[in-house]
């Protein structure tokens, strides 16, 4: 890069990541807190004749975006998931794509447990109980939740985040079940060091046996609406569903029905379909009694988001130099770049 390359950021990011880019590039940042529309994204990439694009999960980066600038040769997404990027189109055009795996596993696992505990012990309801001046005295049957300790935890997808989530069950003396594409012996060995004897089983058995079910699979063709009407019916009617993965992994209409008919006790979500979800959506009618929901903040700690921004910047810089990004989405997806 003899002349400064132009990099477009679709959102303001932590300063550490921005500083890495500004040292080498001419940086342009979308100024609004809400991401640009797809049409505006295409227009802005074209106007800047951008060499690099720094995006996130809210941006649809398809062939139209890639073709908007003849100079575009590097895309970095500040996320683990890359289902919002057309990797095949990028590979055909020789555009490098990087993502941020690993860095947010522990932070997202922490948030998953916050949701699990909030759903189990009715924390949001309890807060509103006090806020609404309904706390008149101690009551033996007021806001009864369910125990987490010695319960059965079902982890759907024992990858990085799923393993970190399962590891935290050690402090609650839980039985841990997991489903995966196949038994993950490496993860089992890791969990065994913390006293967890994780048992592999098929999804159907996991749903039958679990008190808490937590989703940690990527969004792929075969995981789209993985949890639908039949799966929710299999779950214990006192079970709690946790989702910190992708909203589309759960059939939202089926979930609304399951909550309405008490097929499950509670859903604790950091993601939704659609996303963002409006306050008038039928799912929201069940909050907070049967629904705890957060606005996709799984990785939202200061430390983790800063590290993600730096990783993304390094991925973009590598692509601009014609190198393979240190965290290549192509490598993880098994795609050959042209």
* Measured distance CA(195)–CA(325) in Å, rounded: 37
Cis-peptide, bond into residue 276, ω within 30° of zero: yes
Q: Is the dihedral of CA 219, 220, 222, 225 positive or negative?
A: positive
With beta carbons less than 8 A apart as the criterion, state whether 202 and 208 touch.
no
Residue numbers annotated as active site = 246, 275, 296
- Closest Cα partner for 52 from 35, 32, 33, 29? 29
* Measured distance CA(237)–CA(285) in Å, rounded: 19
With beta carbons less than 8 A apart as the criterion, state whether 158 and 198 touch.
yes
């Amino acid at each position: 890069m003899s002349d400064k390359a132009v990099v477009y950021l679709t959102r303001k990011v932590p300063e550490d990541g921005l500083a890495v880019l500004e040292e080498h590039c001419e940086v342009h940042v979308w100024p609004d807190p809400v991401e640009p529309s797809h049409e505006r994204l295409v227009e802005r990439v074209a106007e800047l004749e951008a060499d690099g694009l720094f995006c996130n999960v809210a941006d649809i980066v398809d062939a139209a975006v890639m073709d908007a600038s003849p100079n575009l040769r590097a895309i970095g997404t500040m996320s683990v998931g890359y289902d919002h990027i057309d990797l095949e189109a990028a590979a055909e055009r020789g555009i490098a794509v990087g993502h941020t795996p690993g860095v947010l596993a522990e932070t997202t696992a922490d948030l998953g447990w916050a949701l699990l505990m909030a759903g189990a012990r009715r924390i949001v309801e309890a807060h509103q109980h006090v806020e609404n001046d309904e706390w008149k005295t101690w009551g033996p049957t007021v806001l009864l939740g369910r125990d987490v300790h010695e319960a059965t935890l079902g982890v759907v997808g024992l990858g990085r985040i799923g393993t970190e989530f399962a590891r935290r069950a050690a402090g609650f003396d839980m039985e841990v079940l997991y489903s995966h594409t196949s038994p993950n012996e490496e993860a089992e060995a890791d969990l065994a060091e913390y006293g967890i004897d994780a048992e592999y089983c098929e999804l159907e058995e996991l749903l039958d046996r679990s008190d808490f079910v937590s989703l940690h699979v990527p969004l792929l063709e075969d995981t789209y609406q993985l949890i639908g009407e039949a799966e929710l019916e299999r779950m214990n009617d006192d079970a709690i569903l946790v989702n910190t993965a992708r909203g589309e992994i759960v059939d939202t209409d089926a979930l609304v029905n399951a909550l309405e008919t008490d097929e499950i006790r509670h859903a604790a979500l950091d993601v939704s379909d659609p996303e963002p979800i409006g306050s008038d959506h039928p799912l929201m009618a069940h909050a907070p009694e049967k629904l705890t929901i957060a606005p996709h903040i799984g990785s939202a700690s200061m430390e983790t988001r800063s590290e993600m921004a730096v990783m993304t910047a390094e991925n973009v810089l590598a692509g601009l130099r014609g190198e393979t990004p240190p965290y290549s989405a192509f490598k993880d997806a098994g795609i050959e770049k042209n």
